[in-house]
Amino acid sequence: MAAAAPAPRRRTPRWTECPLAEVRRYLEPGPVVLVGSAWKGRADLMAMGWHTVMEFTPSLLGCVISRANHSHGLVRRSRECTINIPEAHWVDAVVGVGNCSGAEVDKFERFGFTAEPAREVGAPLVGECFVQIECRVVDTRLVNRYDFFVLEAVRARVDRSVRRPQTLHYRGGGEFMLSGPHIGRRALFAPGML
């Protein structure tokens, strides 16, 4: 398997607020994300590949957070979380986060991620991630049956110092794809489909 790109030197981030209807531009390609959560002073982090855009406005996202995960209880009780997109060079730390439980370890400390305060929710943002989305749980009807949470993005920001982000896409079995070249077909789209 091709190695992920080496970690660049730590840049000075240039944060820009992201219009909520544009959150889909980052999540629609299906990158592996890190979910930040917190409840009663305990924060956690988990890796997630099973998420989907559900609507642009309001900006709705769906995701599966297994009840076997410590994060499940934190998100369920607080009704909040953050969705953070890491670049591909974080792959080893992302795998680490996805292979232990926040009930036993402080994953921020162990894997070198920085918990930063969010503006609209109590869950932590992940400082190293170039997209940070603050979410509230707006529908829990599918949680009991499928561990499926419906979230609304209530604030998002993007680090514009990251020019051509390469993201991780999980294939199962310990294998990832990395995002590749971009191609544009805007001219072929009906205006209402863009």
Does 80 sit near ligand FMN (CB under 6 A)? Answer: no
Instruction: Please give the residue whose beta carbon sits closest to ligand FMN in the complex.
Output: 98
The residue from 13, 49, 62, 127 that contacts ligand FMN (CB under 6 A) is: 49
Spatial separation of the C-alpha atoms in residues 22 and 116, rounded to whole Å: 23
Stretch that binds ligand FMN, among 93-101, 112-120, 122-130, 183-191 (CB under 6 A): 93-101
- The C-alpha angle with vertex 63 and arms to 13 and 124, in degrees rounded to 5, equals 40
Q: Interaction with ligand FMN in 126-155: which residues (CB under 6 A)?
A: none
Query: Closer CB to ligand FMN, residue 143 or residue 158?
Result: 143
Structural contact between residues 119 and 37, judged by C-beta atoms closer than 8 angstroms: no
- For residue 172, the cross-strand partners are 175
By CB under 6 A, name the one of 26, 61, 71, 83 that touches ligand FMN. Answer: 71
Residue from 56, 54, 36 nearest 44 by CA = 36
Q: Is 95 in the site for ligand FMN (CB under 6 A)?
A: yes
Place of tokens 């988990």: 46
Q: Which is nearer to ligand FMN, 13 or 49 (CB)?
A: 49
* Listed ranges 2-10, 61-69, 82-90, 157-165: which one lies at the site for ligand FMN (CB under 6 A): 61-69
The number of residues that bind ligand FMN (CB under 6 A) is 20
Tokens for 5, please give them: 């790109």
Nearer to ligand FMN, 43 or 118 (CB): 43
CB of 53 to ligand FMN, least distance (A): 15
Contact call for residue 65 and ligand FMN (CB under 6 A): yes
Q: What are the residues binding ligand FMN (CB under 6 A)?
A: 32, 44, 46-50, 64-66, 69-71, 95, 98-102, 170
